[in-house]
């Protein structure tokens, strides 16, 4: 019995973790729907509060969408490791014979698929509501497609660091925000540039660089942070 068992490849451990997290997310729909609804509600309040006038809205549209994305990302982060920490699955994850980097990455990807991707897909509709010039829709979606995974990866570090604390309150925001600000700046700049007919490629490249950096470093940092939180 002991000898026939084959150790799964890291790839299959990655897929198992990804599938499990997606399954949990679909069974616990509140965790997906709440941040998304928050995103939609925040944006839909702006035309009511500022002015329904197209010109004034178009001016702030990029910033408003990006701020709403940032806030809703932060709202959604908390569920990333909390459940696993509380029920002990995190210990199984840490003690598995696979590189923690890939397992953490799988969890981050699953989290982005259910929290970041819906925001990217819904963004043109909300951009329309804020009267963003239609030629910037593509840029907006592109920047969000590159920016939201970066936000998830950065948030993952902060959540991993604070998962063992009883009451977290604002700590998560205080840790995450300084690192998220570059994403916010380049994201809005890119959209604003394309709205005024300027090339936005440079900002996009910077966003891509941020994604590449966080993709390679954040899972490593999150893994180390998780080890600290559990011990």
Partner 1 sequence: MNQITESTVAMGAPLLEVRDLCCERDERMLFAGLSFVVECGTVLQIAGNNGSGKTTLLRILCGLNDGYDGEIIWRGESTHDTAESFAGDLLYFGHRVGVNKILTPLENLRWSAGMQRNVNDQLLLDALEAVGLRGFEESPCYTLSAGQQQRVSLARLRLSPATLWVLDEPFTTLDVDAVAQLEQTLADHARQGGAVIVTTHHKLTMPSVSRLTLGVS
Question: Residue 1 Cβ, how far from partner 1 at the closest point, in Å?
Answer: 7
Question: Residue 106 Cβ, how far from partner 1 at the closest point, in Å?
Answer: 11
Question: Residue 75 Cβ, how far from partner 1 at the closest point, in Å?
Answer: 20
What does the DSSP 8-state code read for residue 98? S
Buried b (16+ CB within 10 A) or exposed e, 71-88: ebbbbbbbbbbbbbbeee
Question: Residue 164 Cβ, how far from partner 1 at the closest point, in Å?
Answer: 12
Q: What are the DSSP calls for 113-176, one per residue?
A: HHHHHHHHHHHHHHHHHTT--GGGHHHHHHHHHHHHHHHHHHHHHHHHHHTT-S--TTHHHHHH
Rounded to 5°, angle at Cα 58 from 55 and 62: 160
Measured from the CB atom, is 30 or 167 closer to partner 1? Answer: 30
Q: How many CA atoms lie within 13 A of 74 on its CB side?
A: 19
Question: Residue 57 Cβ, how far from partner 1 at the closest point, in Å?
Answer: 41
End-to-end CA distance of the chain: 33
The residues binding partner 1 (CB under 8 A) are: 1-2, 5-8, 12-13, 16-17, 19-20, 23-24, 27-28, 83-84, 86-89, 91-98, 230-231
Measured from the CB atom, is 108 or 136 closer to partner 1? Answer: 108
Measured from the CB atom, is 9 or 205 closer to partner 1? Answer: 9
Measured from the CB atom, is 25 or 209 closer to partner 1? Answer: 25
């Amino acid at each position: 019995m002991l000898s026939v068992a084959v150790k799964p490849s890291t790839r299959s451990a990655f897929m198992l973790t990804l599938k499990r997290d997606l399954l949990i997310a679909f069974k616990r729909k509140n965790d997906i729907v709440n941040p998304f609804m928050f995103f939609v509600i925040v944006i839909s309040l702006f035309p009511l509060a500022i002015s329904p006038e197209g010109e004034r809205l178009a001016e702030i549209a990029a910033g408003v969408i990006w701020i709403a994305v940032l806030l809703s990302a932060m709202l959604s982060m908390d569920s990333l490791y909390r459940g696993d920490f509380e029920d002990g699955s995190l210990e199984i994850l840490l003690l598995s014979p696979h590189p923690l980097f890939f397992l953490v990455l799988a969890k981050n990807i699953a989290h982005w698929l259910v929290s970041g991707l819906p925001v990217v897909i819904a963004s043109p509709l909300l951009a329309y509501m804020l009267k963003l010039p239609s030629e910037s829709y593509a840029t907006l979606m592109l920047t969000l497609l590159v920016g939201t995974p970066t936000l998830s990866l950065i948030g993952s570090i902060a959540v991993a660091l604070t998962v063992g604390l009883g009451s977290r309150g604002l700590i998560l925001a205080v840790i995450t925000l300084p690192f998220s600000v570059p994403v916010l700046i380049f994201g809005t700049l890119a959209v604003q540039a394309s709205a005024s007919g300027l090339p936005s490629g440079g900002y996009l490249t910077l966003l891509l660089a941020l994604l590449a950096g966080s993709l390679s470093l954040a899972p490593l940092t999150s893994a180390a942070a998780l080890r600290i939180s559990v011990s």
